[in-house]
């Protein structure tokens, strides 16, 4: 259920999910960490998605933000 809720936020905020990977959390049975890559057209939509996901997730970190070199 939690993953589906996050994916709905990504969709509602017009983000494009390009990669998702899950790894089990060490010493925490049945808990997983998810790593995602997204692209977006509107920075405000991205910031809105981030603020919503921070509320929804138990532990939320941004590992990096990069400008698309093709633009």
The three-state DSSP-derived secondary structure of 16-59 is: EEEEEEEEECCCCCCCEEEEEEEECCCHHHHHHHHHHHHHHCCC
User: Per-residue pLDDT tens for 12-21?
Assistant: 999 999 999 9
Confidence bin at 68 (pLDDT 50/70/90): confident
Instruction: Supply the pTM of this predicted model.
Output: 0.82
User: Per-residue pLDDT tens for 21-63?
Assistant: 999 989 888 888 999 999 999 999 999 999 999 999 888 999 9
């Amino acid at each position: 259920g939690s993953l589906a809720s996050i994916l709905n936020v990504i969709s509602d905020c017009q983000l494009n999910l390009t990669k998702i990977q899950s790894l089990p959390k060490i010493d925490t049975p049945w808990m997983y960490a998810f790593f995602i890559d997204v692209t977006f057209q509107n920075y405000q939509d991205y910031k809105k998605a981030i603020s919503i996901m921070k509320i929804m997730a138990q532990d939320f970190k941004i590992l990096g933000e990069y400008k698309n070199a093709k633009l």
